[in-house]
Amino acid sequence: MIERLYEVFALPRPAVVDFCDHCVDPADVAPFTSVPLRELTPDHVEKFWLRSGTIGDAAFVRYLLPRVLDLIAAGELEADFFWLRLATEAHAGGDQRERAAVEAYFLATPRALAALVDEVTTAKRADHDLATWLREPDPLAVLEDAALTGSDPDGACSAAHQALESWR
């Protein structure tokens, strides 16, 4: 599933990443042009989050997306509203392969799926395509399985399952 994200969203490493030189230290941007995508650390990626809107453009976000989702799946980044927004925007603006890859990612990453459900149901964010997709049977089944198999130590998947069941 992660490999598919890297494949579907594949872009060459940027030679230059635009950034606001008043807001961003060039040293914080340098790894994006010199370090292979799969080797970017959570610290590198969080520099983008801290300075969103002042680093990169839409193509850069598309380039970075597989690594962000990879780090979330590995538990090295939290599936928060900002990272979820990148995934939902990629889904909304993507072609069939990109949309399917994002959906497969959420089905394979219950913690990220739980965060997405929380975002959609709590913030009443039914305005994007993934909200429609959440009404299909698979997301509910994935959350139920995660809640029942014990891979949900803090109850996030169970809570998301209940919220999704009510919301659907």
Whether residue 138 lies inside any domain: the answer is no
- Contacts for 21-25: CB closer than 8 Å, 24+ residues apart: 23/51, 23/54, 24/51, 24/54, 24/55
Kindly report the pTM of this predicted structure: 0.89
What's the confidence (pLDDT) of residue 40?
Answer: 96
Whether residue 112 lies inside any domain: the answer is no
Whether residue 130 lies inside any domain: the answer is no
| Token output for 72 | 């979330």
pLDDT in tens, the chain (168 residues): 899 999 999 999 999 888 887 877 888 889 999 999 999 999 998 877 655 666 778 888 899 999 999 999 999 998 888 888 889 889 999 999 999 999 999 999 999 999 999 888 887 555 567 888 999 999 999 999 998 886 777 888 899 999 998 887
The number of distinct structural domains making up the chain is 1
Q: Which residues form the domain of 23?
A: 1-77
Whether residue 84 lies inside any domain: the answer is no
Whether residue 149 lies inside any domain: the answer is no
Whether residue 92 lies inside any domain: the answer is no
What's the confidence (pLDDT) of residue 116?
Answer: 92
Identify which of 53, 44, 43, 45 has the alpha carbon closest to the alpha carbon of residue 20: 53
d(CA 18, CA 41): 20
